[in-house]
A and B are shown apart, each in its own frame.
Chain A
Amino acid sequence: MNILAILARRLLHIAATVVLVALLIFVLMHFLPGDPVMMLLGDRASDEQIANMRHRLGFDRSVVEQFWEFLKMTASLQFGESVSMKVPVISLIVDRLPITLMLTSMAVVLAVLIAAPLAFIAALRQGGIADAIIRVISQVSLSMPVFYIGLILLITLAAGLRWFPVGGIGENFFQNLYYLFLPALTLALSLSAILLRNLREALIEVLQADYVSFATAKGLMRHTVLGRHVLRNAWISTITLLGLHVGSLVGGAVITETVFAIPGVGRLMIDSIFARDYAVVQGLTMILAVMVSIVFLAVDALQALLDPRVSA
């Protein structure tokens, strides 16, 4: 089977995922305690006002009708209007999404930049002092919660040493690179620990493989053996793992954006949950689910490209 066939199959998976996520969101939101109508209108609203609002929000129709409506709106990216901010949900998301995308992309790049060299050092000197230190540090950063790492970085590097701003975002892309560095580092640390452990194991296994010995026996330069033969075989599983963790990165972004006061979709999510702004939460969850599915798709395609045995 070729890569196109794999892609087609995965696109079907994504469609199925989207419908399932939609169903899940829909059911969850309808079983949540608290009535959005009462939240909006307050305790003293008249029955007529309540009925009007319920009609406006479509709550007076059957559950199946409401779900069908929700699916249709989702497909056309019409998530309705935010009841707390009085603007279309989609425009809120379009406004806030780029900053979160930038934050998570920077986190992924940082995580790889931290993990890859350390994994190489640890694997090449397996059992040595450097290996032991690297393993302890990765263990520690794995066991610390994201918000705690964020606060420590804030207090030391931003508030203490004043190397970085304590929060917010800049006015253009380059300023954002600077503003988002600490938040991205916060997000990256635990991910890099996960990648580091996986890549170290993979490298150690590959270094002992016959084909690495054979490549060395051919008289190739050390860096060719490591870069071409060792790395290309070892990173396949690590890239898969990275893709799987992009989902949890979104969860981390919610926390990080709150700690660093970044106006991304993570903050939007938290604010909307507290305001019981159903439409925003639904819309955001859908968009994030689709994006994570697309990342999984990309990882699958990448894996097929990197490992010829996958598409066989």
Chain B
Amino acid sequence: MNPLLSVRGLGISIGPANPVDSVSFDVNASEMLGIVGESGSGKSLTLRALLQLLPPHARTTGTATWQGRDLLAMPADDIRRVRGREVAVIYQEPMTALDPVLTIGLQITESLNVHLGLRGAAARVRAVQLLDRVGIPDAKRRLDNYPHEFSGGMRQRAMIAIALAAEPKLLLADEPTTALDVTIQDQILKLLLQLKEDLHMSVILVTHDLGIVAGTCDRVAVMYAGRIMESGPVYSVFRAPAHAYTLGLMRSVPNPAHARQLLSGISGTPPEPSHMPPGCRFAPRCGFATPQCSEAPPPLRECGPAHQTACIHADRIRQSVRVTA
């Protein structure tokens, strides 16, 4: 089966900096792909590049094949028709992503209008159904509210309703729960999973939270300093990490079952996008690094069923996991 979206060799340059470099991944139909990484790893830029939403001075290379066409090379009018209709996005902070001076109703109906040709009363009826579907109570009355009259969780629900108004096939979710309380986070994630099933939609979920990925995603790609370090099925990557960075991320997560354990974490800070290290970009912070790591950027290679790693010491890392476990 052909993947729904196939990204190959995506690179983003902004001036002299290369915050994203040769990123490749596939998204299959009805699949939830997690992209994890620290802030600045290029995961949000990658999402925005797919719909040509980067600032005007940013340049992209590579391809993103969608329905036989390259999203990155589409003319403005064509990519506009893809946005919202076929591929939609939701952002991290609904307070800043919703227009503060327009009602929620207008912000939904304008999507219905441009993609489905719905106007006036018909558009309002549909808007009420959409708000209903994302679990906003008293939806009819809420239509005339402004974003600041909603609570944080309700705003995020409204943003999801707006993004999904035209029932796209792929949703790009950029840290959709980061700005929310933990209890609300859980509700929003359940809602996303539910909508993904109902609408037979695929989701790319960008987050820095490994727990969210483990709980919701089918596959995961781990990004660091603009490159994919490791990717594969969630159970395989988390059970047998084959990259030192993935291992470091997993060890930075506190485990409530073992209170007061020592978190090992990762020492140092990510490199500046304008001064990327040669070879493996994680090598300067890596406990497993050898001189060979800094010679050339290691390509992704198979290290298990559908499981790929960009680490040349994958076997040593897996051994060390077995020993400590």
B-contacting residues of A (Cβ < 8 Å)? 208-211, 213-222, 224, 228-229, 232-233, 236, 306-309, 312
- CB-defined contacts of A216 to chain B, threshold 8 Å: 53, 83
Interface of chain A, main secondary structure:
helix
Range of interface residues on B (Cβ < 8 Å): 20 to 34
Interface centre among B110, B114, B165 (most CB of A within 10 A): B110
Q: In whole Å, how far is A79's beta carbon from the nearest beta carbon of chain B?
A: 43
Partner of A233, one of B76, B80, B101, B149: B101
A-B contact pairs, 26 of them (CB 8 A): A209-B96, A210-B96, A211-B97, A213-B48, A213-B97, A214-B97, A214-B98, A214-B159, A216-B53, A217-B51, A217-B84, A217-B163, A218-B110, A218-B163, A218-B165, A219-B80, A219-B83, A219-B85, A219-B111, A219-B166, A221-B114, A222-B76, A229-B102, A233-B100, A306-B101, A307-B100
With A and B bound together, what is the CA distance between A222 and B83 in angstroms?
A: 12
- CB-defined contacts of B146 to chain A, threshold 8 Å: 308-309
Q: Are B89 and A219 neighbours in the complex by a CB distance under 8 Å?
A: no
- CB-defined contacts of A219 to chain B, threshold 8 Å: 80-85, 111, 114-115, 166
- Could you mark each residue 47-84 of chain B with 1 if its beta carbon is under 8 Å from any beta carbon of chain A, else 0? 01001010100000000000000000000100011111
- CB-defined contacts of A213 to chain B, threshold 8 Å: 48, 53, 91, 97
CB of B93 within 8 Å of the partner chain: yes
- CB-defined contacts of B244 to chain A, threshold 8 Å: none
CB of B127 within 8 Å of the partner chain: no
Q: In whole Å, how far is A213's beta carbon from the nearest beta carbon of chain B?
A: 6
- CB-defined contacts of B102 to chain A, threshold 8 Å: 228-229, 232
With A and B bound together, what is the CA distance between A209 and B93 in angstroms?
A: 11
With A and B bound together, what is the CA distance between A232 and B88 in angstroms?
A: 24
Partner of B80, one of A209, A214, A221: A221
Q: Are B83 and A236 neighbours in the complex by a CB distance under 8 Å?
A: no
- CB-defined contacts of A209 to chain B, threshold 8 Å: 96
- CB-defined contacts of A308 to chain B, threshold 8 Å: 100-101, 146, 148
CB of B315 within 8 Å of the partner chain: no
With A and B bound together, what is the CA distance between A209 and B163 in angstroms?
A: 17
User: What are the 10 A-B residue pairs with the smallest beta carbon separation, nearest first?
Assistant: A219-B84, A219-B83, A210-B96, A218-B84, A308-B146, A214-B97, A211-B99, A210-B97, A217-B89, A218-B111
Minimum CB distance partner of B98 in chain A = A211
